[in-house]
Structure 1
Amino acid sequence: MSIDPSSIPFFGAPQQQPQPTGDEGPPPVIIPDQELVTQLLHQMELKHAVDEEGDLLAPWEGFRVYYMFRGEQKELFAVRAFYDRPHSIDSKAELLEALDEWNRETLWPKVYTHTHDDGVVRVIGESQMIVGMGVNVNYFVAMTANWTQAAVSFDAWLAERLGLAQAVDTDGDDSTEGDSTED
């Protein structure tokens, strides 16, 4: 099964919640973990796996999105996308100009380059939040889903911005769709 990036839940601006009346107290706070992220990926119907380092990843054609907990107490949660499209060192200035534009105009993911020893330049996108003291579960779910959608959208944006986008078939089959069957 393949997934259209637009089918990933987009929670947008938070809706007005009724104000607590007395005994209800503040919203529930949890310390997220890999099991919660796994449940979210299942709910979003995204194909996913666990890599050799124990991180969750969701593969798309042309890139992978990782869901990682870091720190001694797993207090930092990061959604990091590794984009497979190689860029030459000669085109790095143009690439950096595009990435600067993205970083100025969007909140996430923040994107940057990594130049390998062989001169191949790759793009990485990243969003992070500190979760060690706890976070509202609804906020965590919304941010994780939005960061995933933004990672998918960035790949299409960059391809279009650099003139690398592939044509869409007349039957509406977009060649930039990723796989989304569950493991």
Structure 2
Amino acid sequence: MSIDPSSIPSFGVPQPQPSGQDGPPPVVVPDQDLVTQLLDQMELKHAVDEEGDLLAPWEGFRVYYMFRGEQKELFAVRAFYDRPHPIEQKAELLEALDEWNRETLWPKVYTHVHDDGVVRVIGESQMIVGMGVNINYFVAMTANWTQAAVGFDQWLVERLGLATDVDEDEDADGTATDGSAEGDAEDNGTEGNSTEDGPAES
């Protein structure tokens, strides 16, 4: 089953601004303020969790924008997908994730098994930024990684036929996830940066 690039939504990636001078775009060392500005330009709702990590929430998953390392030299876009998968279905899930990893560049996706046996999926993309990076390249990659994180969730629902299951779960609960930044940051337990519920140290 091939991945259709057109299934990944567009957030209206900001266009590079003229620098007012000839030559290549400036090289910058990205930080959280720069990513916040980018998310604002993309009109994506975002918040900062208790650990100080920037996140953008969607219904059913969160995308974190994290800087790691002694000098914050590693930038990672990491998605935590809330949908639980029974441990009995892990083999089928891994087969689907292998297919995604073979046929796409990002995000890299893998499973995490909780203590109660529930399996959840994590996706991540990373780049080294400590020595500086072309600003246009950084903007484009961050936007593309965000789009791909959303696209993967849609792809997995279709690949495993989960759309009906999701609808039934929401009907049973009587409510659907509201996708608010504050609720996701508080309800999903990011304290300690554990891969079980939030970002992990790289």
TM-score range, shorter chain: 0.7 to 0.9
CA distance in 1, matches of 2:11, 2:180: 10
Q: Offset of 1:180 from its aligned partner?
A: 8.3
Distance 1:25 1:38 in 2: 26
Structure 1 residue 32: deviation in Å?
A: 0.3
Tell me the CA shift for residue 165 of structure 1.
2.0
Distance (whole Å) between structure 1 residues aligned to residue 164 and residue 70 of structure 2: 43
Residue in 1 that maps onto 2:80: 82
Alpha-carbon distance in 1 for matches of 2:39, 2:180? 10
Residues 63 and 164 of structure 1: is their aligned pair in 2 closer, same or farther, counting only changes over 3 Å? same
Which residue of 1 is the match for residue 153 of structure 2? 155
Q: For residues 97-137 of structure 1, what are the alpha-carbon distances to aligned partners after superposition, in whole Å with 9 as ceiling and x for unaligned?
A: 00000000000000000001110000000000000000000
Q: Please say if residues 46 and 179 of structure 1, whose CA atoms lie closer than 8 Å, have aligned partners that are also in contact.
A: no
Cα root mean square deviation, aligned: 2.4
1:134 aligned to 2:137?
no
Shift of 1:30: 0.2
> Which residue of 116, 119, 125 maps to 1:121?
119
Structure with higher RCO (Cα < 8 A, 6+ apart): 1
Q: Which residue of 2 aligns with 1:6?
A: 9
More helix by share: 2
Residues 180 and 24 of structure 1, relative CA distance in 2, 3 Å threshold: farther
SS at match of 2:66: strand
Aligned partner of 1:35 in structure 2 is 33
Question: % of aligned pairs identical?
Answer: 84
Q: Any gaps of 5 or more consecutive residues in structure 1? A: 12-22, 168-177
SS in 1 for 2:34: helix
1:25-104 counterparts in 2 under 5 A?
Answer: 25-104=23-102
For the 8 Å contact 2:25–2:136, the answer to whether it is kept is no
One-letter amino acid of the structure 2 residue matched with residue 80 of structure 1: R
- Cα drift, residue 10 of structure 1: 5.5
Amino acid at match of 2:133: V
Matching residue's letter, 2:84? P
- Contact kept? 1:10, 1:149, Cα under 8 Å: no
Whole-angstrom CA distance in 1 between matches of 2:110 and 2:46: 24
Contact 2:90/2:119 (<8 A) preserved: yes
Deviation of the 1:28 alpha carbon: 1.2
* Alignment-mate amino acid for residue 143 of structure 2: A
Separation in structure 1 between the aligned mates of residue 111 and residue 138 of structure 2, nearest angstrom: 27
Q: For residues 99 and 67 of structure 1, do their structure 2 counterparts lie closer, same or farther at Cα, with a shift above 3 Å needed?
A: same
> Aligned pair count?
159
Aligned 8 A contact 2:13 2:42 in 1: no
Deviations 1:9-62 (A, max 9, x none): 358xxxxxxxxxxx9444310000000000000001111000011010000000
Separation in 1, partners of 2:71, 2:158: 40
